[in-house]
Chain A
Amino acid sequence: EDQVTQSPEALRLQEGESSSLNCSYTVSGLRGLFWYRQDPGKGPEFLFTLYSAGEEKEKERLKATLTKKESFLHITAPKPEDSATYLCAVQAIPRSGGSNYKLTFGKGTLLTVNP
Chain B
Amino acid sequence: GAVVSQHPSRVICKSGTSVKIECRSLDFQATTMFWYRQFPKQSLMLMATSNEGSKATYEQGVEKDKFLINHASLTLSTLTVTSAHPEDSSFYICSARDIYRGTDTQYFGPGTRLTVL
Contacts and interface: CB of A to CB of B under 8 A. Distances in A.
A and B co-occur in one complex:
yes
A41 interface: yes
B109 A105 contact: no
Given A87-B43, A105-B44, A43 B108 contact: yes
Chain B interface category by residue count: 20 to 34
A110 B7 CA distance: 27
Nearest to B108: A43
Contacts of A59: none
Contact of B108 (A44, A91, A101, A104): A44
A41 B105 CA distance: 22
Interface in A42-56: 42-46, 49
B111 A101 contact: no
B74 interface: no
Interface string B1-37: 0101010000000000000000000000000101000
Interface string A45-78: 1100100000000000000000000000000000
Contacts of B44: 44, 87, 105
A101 B85 CA distance: 30
B98 to A, nearest CB: 9
* Most chain A CB atoms below 10 A, which of B43, B105, B113: B43
Nearest to B109: A43
A53 B34 CA distance: 27
A38 to B, nearest CB: 9
A93 to B, nearest CB: 12
A57 B91 CA distance: 30
Of B32, B57, B91, B104, most buried by chain A (CB within 10 Å of CB) is B104
Nearest to A102: B46
B49 interface: yes
Given A46-B105, A49-B105, 19 more contacts: A34-B105, A41-B91, A41-B113, A43-B4, A43-B6, A43-B108, A43-B109, A44-B93, A45-B108, A46-B108, A87-B43, A87-B44, A101-B32, A101-B97, A102-B46, A102-B49, A104-B46, A105-B43, A107-B43
Interface of B: 2, 4, 6, 32, 34, 42-44, 46, 49, 57, 91, 93, 95, 97, 103-111, 113
